[in-house]
């Protein structure tokens, strides 16, 4: 529903090949644009909670700064342990702004 979406960032402020940390309704969210695709994920690593915003991008791999685990942006999976997954958020673009859908 429309009211589940919250403003996150102007679309023009998310350049390709970069990531931006935003706090949406108190939720730590990392926005990533890679190869023209946008991803919105929980900034906390599912391993031990480190902030991905201090990490790096290597193609479709998001590398956690704490233990260098590589998470695939498209599948969300850590390749050595696929049950360990990124939490992804739905998003939409409206009037040049990226909106994030929060669970509740």
Shortest gap between Cβ of 71 and ligand FES (angstroms)?
Answer: 8
Under a CB-based contact definition with an 8 Å cutoff, are residues 24 and 6 in contact? yes
- Letters for 42-81 (x = contact with ligand FES by CB under 6 A, - = none) are ---x-xx-x-------------x-xx-x------------
Under a CB-based contact definition with an 8 Å cutoff, are residues 15 and 8 in contact? no
Q: Name which of 47 and 88 has its Cβ closer to ligand FES.
A: 47
Q: Residue 48 class from Cβ within 10 Å (0-12 exposed, 13-18 middle, 19+ buried)?
A: exposed
Shortest gap between Cβ of 103 and ligand FES (angstroms)?
Answer: 22
């Amino acid at each position: 529903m429309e009211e589940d979406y919250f403003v996150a960032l102007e679309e023009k402020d998310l350049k390709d090949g970069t990531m931006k940390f935003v706090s949406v309704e108190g939720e730590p969210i990392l926005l990533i644009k890679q190869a023209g695709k946008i991803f919105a994920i929980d900034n906390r690593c599912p391993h031990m909670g480190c902030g991905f915003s201090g990490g790096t991008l290597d193609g479709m791999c998001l590398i956690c700064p704490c233990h260098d685990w590589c998470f695939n942006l498209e599948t969300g999976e850590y390749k050595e342990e696929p049950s360990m997954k990124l939490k992804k958020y739905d998003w939409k673009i409206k009037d040049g702004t990226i909106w994030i859908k929060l669970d509740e």
